[in-house]
Amino acid sequence: MKHQRTMHLRRNRSLDQRAARGFDSRRILHSASDAILSVGHDTTILLANPAAARMFDTGVPSLQGSALARFIAAPGADARTPLDYFPAGLGRAGRRATDYAVTGIRSDGERFPIEGSISSVDHDGRPIYTVILRDVSERHLVQQTLARSHDQLRQLSSALQSIREEERTHIARELHDDLGQLLASLRMDLTLLARVERLPEASTPLISGMQSNLLTAIASLRRIATNLRPRALDEGGLYFALQGLRDEFTERHGIACSVLADEAELRLDDAASTAIFRIVQEALTNIARHAGAQHVCVNLYRINGDLLLTIQDDGRGIRAQDMDKAESLGLIGMRERVWAMLGDITIGADESPGTRIDIVLPIAGHVV
């Protein structure tokens, strides 16, 4: 008798626990802010909470008993189970590794982006799937707006670079054609004056000093004009402009520099040639200022419709956290020029020794 009473109490306690769990589950399901669906193995929606009904703009009764494909777009015609709606190929979409990007379908047929996860439990030998969904339409809208703004900023940056390059070209030509010719004329006059036999003896060192200062001024003018716009870029093309840049860099900074390239592969239009020249110029300027390098290697070669540019130095390297600082404006400028050409740039930070910059530029439309 006592044994029967004990079994009865245990059975009642078990029923109470199951009822309590069922009550708690329903309460949690209905109060959850995320949309939650309970789905059978055949993709029939068994249970849905009010948040799911609001998401799909329908009622809970309309969700329950419907096929999952009515409210979530199937990734393919062969989707048979709920897991097929969340294939691994969709990849990570949200904050958790189990989040997937899927497409929801509202009651009026409108499609919208969803971030969802799926899990399963076994019930009487058959799996029951729990699907948790979040409407990310607003997030996608913000991302699209930011992407458009970013594209507009890049277009503006590209336009400003073009304007700046035109101004540089104009100033360089003015310096060469006007001031350069004037200094050359003064040099000739001083040379003729030095040949006059009846000049006072005291004027000889004065004329010599004037000639020395004039030669320094001419050299400075040439350097400034070349930095503004190298004449070799207009007269000989990118290959010869890079050779001149290499020579000037080595002479000025005492850092050995090699440029490995094929002249035939660098026959590009002015826009591409100028952008590539500026990228290399800015990289060498950064190396001279910050790297403490002894040697730099610049390698350019074409593969199919792309130009691959690699710049490697043997200096102290650059830390990853320093690449976006204000002092790294040269790196930022390089990125902007690469992105303006729809290219990719990778800067190898914390490498030993030195820093390596790898750039891929699509040049199919720039070959001449």
* Residue 203: per-residue pLDDT: 73
Average the pLDDT over each of 40-54, 192-206, 227-241 and give the range with the smallest value. 192-206
Query: Could you tell me the CATH number of the domain that includes residue 61?
Result: 3.30.450.20
Query: What's the pTM value of the predicted model, to 2 decimals?
Result: 0.54
Q: Are residues 244 and 345 in the same domain?
A: yes
Specify whether 272 is located in the same domain as 367.
yes
The mean per-residue pLDDT over the stretch 270-290 comes to 88
User: How confident is the model at residue 328, as a pLDDT?
Assistant: 55
Determine the residue type at 202. Answer: A
**Dist CA 181 CA 172 (whole Å):** 13
CA dist., res. 241 & res. 158, Å (int): 22
For residue 363, what is the domain's CATH number?
3.30.565.10
Mean pLDDT over the full length of the chain: 79
pLDDT of 182 > 80? The answer is no
The strand ranges marked E within the chain are 35-39, 45-48, 100-105, 111-123, 126-135, 256-260, 295-303, 306-313, 344-348, 356-362
User: Could you tell me which residue, 160 or 79, shows the higher pLDDT?
Assistant: 79
- Decide if 90 is inside a domain: yes
Same domain for 85 and 191?
no
Q: Is residue 287 part of a domain?
A: yes
Asked whether residue 246 is assigned to any structural domain, the reply reads: yes
Question: Which of 154 and 126 is assigned the larger pLDDT?
Answer: 126
Q: Do 360 and 238 fall into the same domain?
A: yes
Neighbouring C-beta atoms of residue 200, cutoff 10 Å: 7
- Residue 125's pLDDT is what? 81
Q: Are residues 253 and 181 in the same domain?
A: no
Question: Is 52 within the bounds of a domain?
Answer: yes
Last residue of a domain, one of 72, 104, 135: 135
Q: What is the domain range of residue 312?
A: 234-368
More confident position, 93 or 213 = 213
Joined tokens for residue 207: 């004329």
Chain centroid to CA 227: how far? 28
Structure token pair of residue 68: 């999952």
Asked if residues 47 and 37 have their Cβ atoms less than 8 Å apart, the reply is yes
Q: Has residue 14 been placed in a domain?
A: no
| Domain assignment of residue 243, yes or no | yes
Mean pLDDT of all residues in 302-313? 92
pLDDT at 293 over 60: yes
Three-state SS at 305: coil
How many distinct structural domains can be found in the chain? 3
Question: Which helix (H) or strand (E) element contains residue 247?
Answer: helix 238-253
| Spatial CA neighbour of 305 closest among 368, 364, 245 | 364
Which residues face 127 on adjacent strands?
122
Q: Tell me which range, 3-7, 131-135, 289-293, is most confidently predicted by mean pLDDT.
A: 131-135
**Average pLDDT, stretch 213-229?**
76
**Could you identify the residue written with the tokens 């490697």?**
312
Instruction: Examine the domain organization and report whether 242 and 358 are in the same domain.
Output: yes
Same domain membership, residue 69 and residue 121: yes
Identify the residue with better confidence: 239 or 186. Answer: 239
252 pLDDT more than 80: yes
Query: Is residue 247 domain-shared with residue 344, that is, in the same domain?
Result: yes
Same domain, yes or no: 59 and 186? no
Give domain status of residue 303, yes or no. Answer: yes
Residue 346 has pLDDT above 60, yes or no: yes
Mean pLDDT of all residues in 81-98: 62
Residue 131 sits in the same domain as residue 177: no
> Do 308 and 357 sit in the same domain of this protein?
yes
183 part of a folded domain:
yes
- Choosing from 229, 259, 294, the residue where a domain stops is 229
User: Of the residues 171, 199, 229, which one is the last residue of a structural domain?
Assistant: 229
Q: Are residues 243 and 326 in the same domain?
A: yes
Evaluate whether 225 touches 172 at the Cβ level (below 8 Å).
yes
Looking at residue 354, its pLDDT comes to 83
